[in-house]
Amino acid sequence: MELLAPAGSISALKAAVSNGADAVYLGLDLFNARAKAENFTIENIKEHIDFCHLYGVKVYIAFNTCIKENELISLKNYVKAAAEAGADAFIVTDIGALDIFRGSGVPLHASTQMGIHNYEGALMAKKLGFTRVVLARECTVEDIKAVKKAGLEVEVFVHGALCVCFSGGCLMSSFMSGDSGNRGRCNQPCRLKYSCNGKSGYLLSAADLNMLGRIKELRAAGADSLKVEGRLKTDYYCGEVISAYRAAIDGKLKGDENSRLLRAFNRGGFTKGYGVDDTNKLISAKIQNNTGEESGEVKVCGRGYIDVAASRDISPGDGLKLTRGGFEVCGFTADKTERRGMILRVSCKSEGIKPGDKVFVTYDKSRAEELALVKRRIPVRFTLFASVGGNAVLTAAANGESVTVTGGICGQAKTDGSRAAEQVLNKSQGEFVTEKAEVNMQNAFIPSSLLNGMRREALNLIRDKLLNKYNREKLVRISSYKPCEWEEENRFNTLSSNKYVIVSSAEGMAAAKSHGYSAILQISDYKSKNLDIIMKSNVFDNNIGNILAIPLILRSADMKVMRNFLDKYAEKFEGFYCENLGAIELALEYGKKIIGGIGLNIYNSNCIKFLPLDDYAASVELTEKEVLTLPSPVVYAYGRVRLMTLSHCPVKLNYGGDCSACRYKGEIEYRDRFGAYPVRRTRVASCYFSLHNPALTDITSKLKCDVFGGKILLDMVNYSVEDINRTLARYNNGGAGGSGVTCGHLFRGVK
């Protein structure tokens, strides 16, 4: 089982390697989903890959952003440089760049941004040439078992920050500020305050994940790699977390690891993840930043100090946070501490602090210093032979490799120089540490400068040998890919209509079709007793123009429900509206035409080569100009864009109750300074909730739809038949939209 560490900086990379990582993942200065990290460059990446490979540590380079058409040439240069530097794998999001990635020969890992969470999605990834899937964070142990059956390596997140939105589907930062998470620039609006049902707080801020106690469970499920999140975190965090999970994997836990993990970083405590903790533990509504470990309580608040009944020592330089009723009061670095019996006096600005406030340690200075001293070294054995009148010969051996260096002619020593030679050989250099030095001088004299030079040369040679050994034995390159059968097909424009309306009822479908649109049915409840009645409606007498929207999330239990429905009713639909790889695989299996939805985030023209699409919608993050570079795309023209999909239950979180007495009444919304975010529910086996833009998109406020060849997509879920008829008539007649609407990114774009 592999332990995979984040490396957002050089110091974090070294901390990961020193504390036991089997592999690290990192990004270059472009095309990675952590643009705000320190990252690496084309110029220095080989140096740091070599550093990792010396210790047998693999390096996975993240190219996990969406790539625009005009960026493909630059991407090709980056991929070429990374491959030549010795990358062990590429973490890939944009399928439109597959030809570039395949051409490098480097193994490909399907990023969590692709939202793979079921067997079907993994199977499609395998067909496309991926060797590993990084599972969506929402996956349960049962999902891992199902995905494993596809025959790919499975990588699972075990620790760190969770996105509240389903993996790869968040547009919140994009539509709020233009800083797109799909481009590595997420501003984390989920960490801001929202209100719902009279509650206010960080209602969309997910707690941090901690699966330290679930390693055996994950191993039994078939997880091949345990991934730690944190490319924006410190080297202290990286070292602490990796050392804890190394101990857990090796069965060497000491018992204090969770305490140390709390101090390294957490948000309102930890969650054990989906399928284990309920909604209330998945969301940290009171605190959205580092909480630390509870370490005491304020007893006295004086001028310039507080007296704390401390459950553990607090030292100068430690980071502290004070809370009251679970909410943050203040935070500061301890300047001076003094033990007074059972009380610890901490010097600080005490304004606003009250007796009873809880004290948390958010940074452990002494532990950080301890971790900084941990340096992984490669043990090397030296053997030196020298004789008067002969050449000095130095042999170095490490990790099964050895080299020999010959020096100059040795003279006669006046005294025994063995001790001095041993001192020279025992010096540490770079990645190496001397394990043993055997010296046979035979009264010969070797100048220390000569021996130092021989030692440096030997270590450089052994370093090269070890790297060559790694490249020979561990570095994998794939010589060729078998193209998918659809890569040479031309499937476009085979549907009855290239104008689409998403609706939520049979009546809505009939209305859409009467105006010449294909009707995409979004079923809100697959458990509804009325579903069979709906499917007997007259609109299904002929399947032409009937499209089924496949739910964005179909975990193992959901897939069983979905297949039961499709086995009964798939024939009533001409095609499926698919927003991820799993949905596409379903469509192929059931022999349906495939409309690629906005969830696929199609940014460039190459996407349609690698996906078996009959039609597709362009990403809603593209500008008008960028959309027009794509071949015959559908454009999102009307509706409230889905900004997030939630796997937890906002009803339970904000209204209380449980599933047995569900309090969902069909209307729920989150609010902030921008307005109200309507929430829709989709129930399969479990419930999922989508959060939508406060602003209505209506491109006719500034554009004529014929700019895009009339290929448009309108989202009219929950609209009445009257509203559907009125809006579609206006669109068909070229009428302009009203005021107070948006064109999304068509005139703004994303960074």
- Name the residue ranges covered by the structural domains of the chain: 2-162+208-272, 293-372, 378-473, 487-641+696-732
Query: According to DSSP H, which parts of 136-171 are helical?
Result: 141-148
Q: What is the mean pLDDT of residues 325-348?
A: 93
Residues 6+ apart with CB under 8 A from 202: 191, 192, 193, 194, 283, 284, 285, 286, 287, 288
Average pLDDT, the chain: 95
Q: What is the mean pLDDT of residues 426-448?
A: 89
Task: Tell me how far the alpha carbon of residue 394 is from its chain's centroid.
Answer: 48
**pLDDT at site 395:** 96
Return the CATH fold of 293-372: Thrombin, subunit H (2.40.10)
- Cα torsion angle, 389, 428, 467, 247, sign: positive
42: buried, middle or exposed (CB in 10 Å: 19+, 13-18, 0-12)? middle
Task: Tell me how far the alpha carbon of residue 461 is from its chain's centroid.
Answer: 38
251: pLDDT strictly greater than 90 = yes
Q: What CATH architecture is 2-162+208-272?
A: Alpha-Beta Barrel (3.20)
Percentage above 70 pLDDT, the chain = 99
- Helix/strand/coil for 479: coil
The rounded distance, in Å, linking the Cα atoms of 54 and 44 is: 16
pLDDT tens for each residue of 285-298: 999 999 999 999 99
Percentage above 90 pLDDT, the chain = 86
Contact yes or no for 644/485 (Cβ under 8 A): no
Element housing 405 (H / E): strand 401-409
Higher pLDDT, 275 or 324: 324
**pLDDT at site 390:** 92
Domains 293-372 and 487-641+696-732 share a fold: no
The rounded distance, in Å, linking the Cα atoms of 320 and 357 is: 12
pLDDT tens for each residue of 675-719: 999 999 999 999 999 999 999 999 998 888 888 989 999 999 999
In this prediction the pTM is 0.96
**pLDDT at site 492:** 67
493: pLDDT strictly greater than 80 = no
Q: What is the mean pLDDT of residues 628-644?
A: 96
Q: What is the mean pLDDT of residues 607-612?
A: 92
Mapping DSSP onto H, E and C, the string for 412-477 reads ECCCCCHHHHHHHHCCCECCEEEEEEEEECCCEECCHHHHHHHHHHHHHHHHHHHHHHHHHHCCCC
**pLDDT at site 319:** 97
pLDDT tens for each residue of 52-80: 999 999 999 999 999 999 999 999 999 99
pLDDT tens for each residue of 213-223: 999 999 999 99
CATH code for the structural domain at 487-641+696-732 = 3.20.20
**pLDDT at site 279:** 74
- Structural tokens at position 157: 């997140």
Hey, which residues does 681 pair with through a beta bridge? 689
Find the angle CA(238)-CA(243)-CA(244) to the nearest 5 degrees. Answer: 105
